Amino acid sequence: MGEVRFFESNIANHEADGLISTGNIYLNMSGGVNGELLHQGGKAMQQQLHTWLKKQSLHYVEPGFAMVIGPEPFAFKCIVYTVAVDGFYGTNDELVKTCLRKGLAMLAEAGCRSAAVPALATGYGPLKKEEFGRILREFLDEEGDFGMERIDVVCERDIDEVRKGWGNTDSLKPSCGKA
């Protein structure tokens, strides 16, 4: 099993092969990780998402949706946009696990060996960061790390709350870093 690490920094600038980002069912990059990607990278990824919706003749996607976007102009090999909330910004453990499963699988398929993961569904979504930490640990214990050498959980603030939910474990050896 790869290493799981925790960082308090800007995820858009984090050094990893791949990034899981999360947004809403309308594929709007309006806040959180996506807002930062939009701010730093311009509108190309937002246009990619909206063009995909239009080509599919859709106005929205179902919760649990995932697709590869970008990654230009970012240094990541691959960015996966996932939807970990429903239309009312509700979520649950299984939805978050679905997004983790799809996101890590797509990153692995793209040849990524390391992943930067935000605390899914904790921005506009109702999850507390502590709950995300618990869900992530359960997920990795149940399904593994998809061959990732490391998974970095990255939040701009309150990373200790994620660590609290994660708890201590000998098998996954979490470590903490401040970038």
Q: Are strands 114-117 and 18-23 parallel, antiparallel or unpaired?
A: parallel
- Cα separation, 177 vs 76, in Å, equals 20
Can you give the pLDDT at residue 31? 86
- Longest Cα separation, the chain: 48
Q: Which residue positions in the chain have pLDDT lower than 70?
A: 1, 168-179
What does the pLDDT look like over 156-171, one tens digit per residue? Answer: 999 999 999 999 443 3
| pTM for the whole structure | 0.92
Can you give the pLDDT at residue 141? 96
- Cα separation, 119 vs 135, in Å, equals 10
- Cα separation, 100 vs 139, in Å, equals 8
Can you give the pLDDT at residue 1? 66
Can you give the pLDDT at residue 30? 85
HSE, CB side, 13 Å, CA atoms: give it for residue 41. 23
What does the pLDDT look like over 40-64, one tens digit per residue? Answer: 998 999 999 999 999 999 999 999 9
Q: Are strands 3-8 and 18-23 parallel, antiparallel or unpaired?
A: unpaired
- Cα separation, 109 vs 59, in Å, equals 28
Can you give the pLDDT at residue 179? 42
Contacts of 118 (CB under 8 A, 6+ apart): 11, 20, 21, 22, 32, 33, 153, 154, 155
Q: Are strands 66-69 and 114-117 parallel, antiparallel or unpaired?
A: unpaired
